[in-house]
């Protein structure tokens, strides 16, 4: 057995821990350098990256545009979180928590900043009046699942994904703990989706938009190289739901925005108009 770790009386940061994201992590917040964020021509300015949290917002924006809502036109600028761009003064003004995604709504006389991806989904759904039912019981069920996702995904990403895919070494204790939790969460979703087409009922809502980039990508084998390890095939209702959503044109468009890895046809660093996405998707092999 390796020597047990004995915590010191007071924790201090002694060195980088070597994990994939180690160089950007520090125990303090706030801006680290001066930065002016670019502003494009559209009312909505998004500063993001094509991680699951980023995909939530670009998928919803593309869904709104697919409904013909031109006011949802947006510029999506890439924030390279691996290079620490979220710690620039401009980004910190939009999100003091230094995490993507962050959005500025410049359609108003006094622009509004919106951060936290779940809140951005809620803001856009309310602003444009789509993907969130108005009646209290149905709306509450959507919010139940939106909050569920915001509370649960950190165990999948920061817990399971971190220790299984990104940590400098494989440690049994956290991998066992978070694999169990990830599978428990998948079972929650599977039981819910056994009863109905979408997460919150028969209607596709922002709850699905929030959950798919995390748990949909996971069961489709697009996250952490963990499909076999977590036996994702066994969650048949989540599989059915994930595939149905993956077929939506707006999902296929939104998932590639601010993404700079994967196949060439899934990478679009910045989006300023619909043709930017069309051009990339046209490279997809038939
Ligand atoms: N609760 C936040 C989480 C956002 C988040 O964790 N973003 C990650 C990328 S997916 C990030 O910006 N990480 C950069 C960092 O931690 O410095 C949300 O839902 O918006």
Which tens digits make up the pLDDT trace of 17-35? 666 666 788 999 999 999 9
Mean pLDDT of 208-224: 97
Q: Say yes or no to pLDDT of 172 above 80.
A: yes
Please identify, by atom number, the ligand 1 atom nearest to the C-alpha of residue 24: 17
Would you state the pLDDT for residue 162? 97
H or E element in which residue 4 lies: none
Q: H/E element holding 100?
A: none
Q: Is the CB of residue 215 less than 8 Å from the CB of residue 186?
A: yes
Q: Using most ligand atoms within 8 A of CB, pick from 47, 94, 99 the residue to mutate for ligand 1.
A: 99
Residue 154 has pLDDT above 60, yes or no: yes
Decide if pLDDT at 16 tops 70. no
Give the model's confidence band at 3: pLDDT under 50 very low, under 70 low, under 90 confident, else very high.
Answer: confident
> What pLDDT is attached to residue 20?
66
User: Which ligand 1 atom minimizes the distance to the CA of 158?
Assistant: 6
CA-proximal residue: ligand 1, atom 8 (nearest): 99
| Predicted pLDDT of residue 110 | 96
Confidence of residue 87 (pLDDT cuts 50, 70, 90): very high
Nearest residue to 102 (alpha-carbon basis) of 115, 112, 87:
115
The atom of ligand 1 lying closest to the CA of 117 is 20
Cα 49 to middle of ligand 1, angstroms: 10
**To which residue do tokens 């649960």 refer?**
152
pLDDT score of 17: 62
Alpha carbon of 177 to those of 59, 168, 238, 259: distances in Å?
31, 18, 22, 30
The per-residue pLDDT for 143 is 98
How far apart, in whole angstroms, are the C-alpha atoms of residue 271 and residue 38?
13
Report the share of the chain in percent with pLDDT over 90.
Answer: 93
- Nearest residue (by CA) to ligand 1, atom 13, is 99
**Burial of residue 93 (number of CB atoms within 10 Å: 0-12, 13-18, 19+):** middle
Under DSSP, the state recorded for 231 is: T
Alpha-carbon gap, residue 283 to 286, rounded angstroms = 9
Q: Is the per-residue pLDDT at 254 higher than 70?
A: yes
**What does each C-alpha distance from 255 to 180, 205, 231, 251 come to in angstroms?**
28, 17, 24, 6
Cβ–ligand 1 contact at 99 (below 6 Å): yes
pLDDT tens digit string along 182-196? 999 999 999 999 999
- Whether 81 lines ligand 1, by a CB cut-off of 6 Å, is yes
Q: Helix, strand or coil for residue 205?
A: coil
Ligand 1 centroid from CA 3, angstroms:
33
Q: Which long-range contacts (CB under 8 A, 24 or more apart) does 84-90 make?
A: 84/23, 84/24, 84/32, 85/35, 86/24, 87/24, 87/30, 87/31, 87/32, 87/33, 88/31, 88/32, 88/33, 88/34, 88/35, 88/37, 89/31, 89/33, 89/34, 89/35, 90/35, 90/36, 90/37
Given this model, what pLDDT does residue 25 score? 85
Give the chain's mean pLDDT.
96
* Cα of 145 from ligand 1 centre, angstroms: 19
For ligand 1, atom 15, name the residue with the nearest CA.
99
Burial of residue 89 (number of CB atoms within 10 Å: 0-12, 13-18, 19+): middle
Interatomic CA distance for residues 237 and 245, integer angstroms: 12
pLDDT, tens only, 89-99: 999 999 999 99
Closest ligand 1 atom to 84 CA: 17
């Amino acid at each position: 057995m390796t020597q047990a770790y004995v915590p010191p009386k007071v924790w201090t940061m002694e060195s980088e821990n070597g994990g994939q994201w180690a160089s950007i992590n520090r125990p303090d917040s706030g801006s680290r350098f001066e930065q002016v964020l670019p502003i494009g021509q559209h009312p909505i300015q998004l500063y993001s990256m094509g991680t699951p949290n980023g995909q939530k917002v670009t998928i919803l924006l593309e869904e709104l545009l697919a409904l013909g809502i031109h006011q949802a036109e947006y510029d999506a600028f890439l924030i390279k979180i691996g290079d620490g761009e979220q710690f620039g003064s401009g980004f910190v003004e939009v999100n003091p928590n230094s995490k993507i995604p962050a959005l500025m709504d410049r359609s108003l006389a006094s622009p509004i900043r919106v951060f936290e991806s779940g809140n951005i989904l809620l803001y856009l759904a309310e602003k444009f009046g789509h993907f969130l039912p108005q009646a209290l019981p149905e709306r509450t069920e959507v919010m139940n699942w939106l909050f569920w996702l915001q509370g649960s995904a950190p165990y999948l990403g920061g817990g399971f994904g971190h220790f299984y895919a990104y940590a400098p070494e494989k440690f049994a204790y956290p991998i066992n703990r978070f694999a169990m939790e990830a599978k428990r969460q998948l079972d929650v979703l599977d039981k819910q989706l056994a009863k109905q087409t979408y997460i919150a009922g028969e209607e596709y809502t922002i709850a699905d938009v929030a959950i798919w980039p995390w748990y949909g990508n996971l069961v489709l084998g697009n996250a952490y190289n963990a499909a076999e390890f977590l036996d994702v095939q066994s969650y048949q209702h989540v599989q059915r739901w994930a595939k149905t959503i993956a077929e939506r044109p707006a999902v296929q468009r939104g998932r590639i925005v601010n993404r700079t890895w994967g196949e060439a046809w899934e990478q679009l660093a910045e989006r300023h108009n619909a043709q930017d996405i069309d051009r990339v998707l046209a490279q997809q092999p038939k």
